[in-house]
């Protein structure tokens, strides 16, 4: 079956004009801007400051993780004209820390200062139809395809679903993340009910495939066209939220890794992309590779790079947006990253502070908390990366931490 997608777009042709390098300076200070105030913005700011930059964050929420560490917080919405003008006036370059920042705002900024990633690349990741269209259009160069899929925008679309697409997963076209906006469906009646429960917004039905495991490929591309790819990460999800990332992936073959890395390189080149991009793939039970989705920013599955690689994904984002040479992506230690959700602050209905002293006492444990003061079940509060001389060493400490925190490993 041919995927139900639109005509291919030349995204690389939409790239913004180039500007002079944003070399770090102490006097006057060189400022970098971040659209978004979450934990990714926080870790980006810390990496930028380590390299000698000052950071300004634009974020509508006054108390946000990135705003706690940045030199300046512009407390405004992402489409606020005067706030965007302030970024232009102060910054040498601007990036985004999550994909749902309006692409139009990035395009407006790019008329006067350097923006990475560009609006065109971000807009693709914001819309599942555009994303699938891009993957299909790039298949000859990347060597991979997405799962068979169909746009669902009306009851007539549901009536026309082919039997080969079921069972599947119905996903909203926009604003879905961490398992939100997704429903498993086994029949047309299930699709109809799910479509109505989502308010009749345009959705994408994706065929469920025989999944062996999921991998993510973290890549970065510089303004000069150079690209680098980090070691392949193997992910485990629980309730739609990333639970662990293990690198090197214990099930990832050399052939699979090479194919995924080649595909990632093709994607960033085709997009004319500058910055860090994470691409998620499914590895099927027959060993074949299927591209799932991409995130135009540093990614949860790349947090291990902060403690296990020469250059972290956040330092890499700084380098790319500042038009500096990209950093070394070699991994110096095997690693297991554990996401910390708000659930660990509760034992039943009882609130309790987790035993961080016992966690950090574990060999190779690196704790990163995001400065959020309202733990809630399912909310990302931090992560711990366990590094070791061997992957078995890291996995043993991961299991010990799960026992301390009351998490089923």
Cβ atoms of 232 and 249 closer than 8 Å: yes
Pairing of strands 335-341, 380-387: antiparallel
**Cα distances (angstroms) measured from residue 112 to each of 12, 398, 405:** 19, 46, 48
Q: What span, in angstroms and rounded, lies between the C-alpha atoms of 325 and 220?
A: 11
Query: Annotation-wise, does 180 bind a ligand?
Result: yes
181 in a known ligand binding site: yes
214 assigned to a ligand binding site: yes
* Cα-only R_g, the chain: 21
Pair 277, 267: CB distance under 8 Å: yes
Is residue 226 exposed (0-12), middle (13-18) or buried (19+ Cβ within 10 Å)?
A: exposed
- 208 marked as part of a ligand binding site: yes
Known binding residue 164? Answer is no
Task: Tell me if 304 is assigned to a ligand binding site.
Answer: no
Q: Beta strands 227-229 and 211-221: pairing type?
A: antiparallel
Q: Are the CB atoms for 116 and 298 separated by under 8 Å?
A: no
182 is known to lie in a ligand binding site: yes
d(CA 265, CA 158): 36
Q: Please choose, from the candidates 338, 308, 128, the residue with its C-alpha nearest in 3D space to the C-alpha of residue 237.
A: 338
- Phi, psi dihedral angles at 155 (to 5 degrees): -65, -30
Q: What tokens were used for 302?
A: 């790349």
At 129 the three-state DSSP class reads helix
The H or E element spanning position 346 is strand 346-347
Cα-Cα-Cα-Cα torsion 300, 283, 377, 382, nearest 10 degrees, comes to -20
Binding residue per annotation — 206?
A: yes
Q: Is 349 annotated as a binding residue?
A: no
255 annotated to bind ligand: no
199 is known to lie in a ligand binding site = no
User: Does 176 belong to an annotated binding site?
Assistant: yes
Angle (CA) 188-193-195 rounded to 5° is: 90
User: Is residue 293 a contact partner of residue 267, using CB atoms and an 8 Å limit?
Assistant: no
- Please tell me whether 380 is known to bind a ligand: no
Q: Are 344 and 403 in contact (CB under 8 A)?
A: no
Please give the Cα distance from 218 to 342 (Å, whole number): 26
128 annotated as belonging to a binding site for a ligand = yes
300 appears as a binding residue in the annotation: no
> Any known ligand binding at 179?
yes
User: What is the C-alpha to C-alpha distance for residues 359 and 405, in angstroms, rounded to an integer?
Assistant: 8
Residue 147 is classified by DSSP as P
Q: Report the distance separating Cα 206 and Cα 122, nearest Å.
A: 22
Annotated ligand binding at 168? The verdict is no
Annotated binding-site residues for ATP read 128, 171, 176-182, 206-209, 214, 237, 292-293
Annotated binding-site residues read 128, 171, 176-182, 206-209, 214, 237, 292-293
């Amino acid at each position: 079956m041919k995927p139900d997608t639109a005509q291919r777009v030349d995204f690389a042709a939409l790239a913004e004009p180039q500007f002079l390098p944003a070399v770090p300076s102490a006097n006057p200070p060189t400022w970098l801007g971040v659209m978004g105030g979450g934990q990714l913005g926080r870790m980006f700011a810390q990496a930028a400051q380590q390299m000698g930059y000052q950071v300004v964050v634009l974020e509508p929420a006054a108390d946000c993780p990135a705003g706690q560490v940045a030199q300046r917080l512009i407390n405004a919405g992402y489409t606020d004209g005067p706030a965007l003008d302030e970024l232009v006036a102060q910054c040498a370059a601007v990036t985004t820390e999550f994909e749902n920042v309006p692409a139009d705002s990035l395009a407006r900024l790019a008329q006067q200062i350097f923006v990475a990633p560009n609006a065109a690349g971000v807009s693709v990741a914001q819309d599942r139809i555009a994303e699938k269209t891009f993957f299909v259009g790039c298949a000859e160069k990347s060597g991979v395809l997405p799962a068979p899929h169909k746009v669902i925008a009306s009851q007539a679309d549901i009536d026309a679903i082919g039997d080969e697409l079921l069972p599947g997963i119905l996903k909203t076209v926009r604003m879905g993340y961490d398992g939100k906006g997704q429903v498993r469906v086994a029949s047309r009646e299930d699709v109809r009910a799910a479509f109505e429960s989502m308010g009749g917004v345009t959705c994408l039905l994706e065929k469920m495939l025989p999944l062996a495991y999921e991998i993510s490929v973290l890549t970065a591309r510089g303004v000069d066209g150079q690209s680098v790819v980090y070691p392949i990460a193997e992910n485990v999800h629980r309730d739609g939220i990333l639970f662990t990332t293990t690198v090197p992936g214990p099930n990832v073959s050399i052939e699979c890794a090479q194919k995924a890395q080649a595909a990632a390189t093709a994607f960033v080149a085709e997009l004319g992309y500058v910055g860090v991009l994470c691409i998620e793939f499914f590895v099927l039970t027959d060993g074949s590779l299927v591209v799932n989705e991409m995130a135009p920013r540093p990614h949860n599955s790349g947090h291990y790079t902060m403690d296990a690689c020469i250059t972290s994904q956040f330092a890499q984002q700084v380098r790319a947006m500042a038009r500096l040479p990209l950093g070394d992506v070699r991994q110096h230690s095997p690693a297991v990253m554990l996401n910390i959700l708000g659930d660990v602050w509760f034992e039943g209905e009882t609130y309790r502070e987790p035993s961080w002293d016992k966690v950090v006492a574990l060999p190779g444990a690196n704790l990163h908390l995001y400065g959020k003061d309202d733990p809630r079940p399912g909310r990302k509060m931090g992560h711990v990366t366990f590094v070791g001389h061997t992957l078995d060493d890291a996995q043993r400490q991961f299991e010990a931490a799960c026992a301390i925190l009351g998490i089923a490993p």
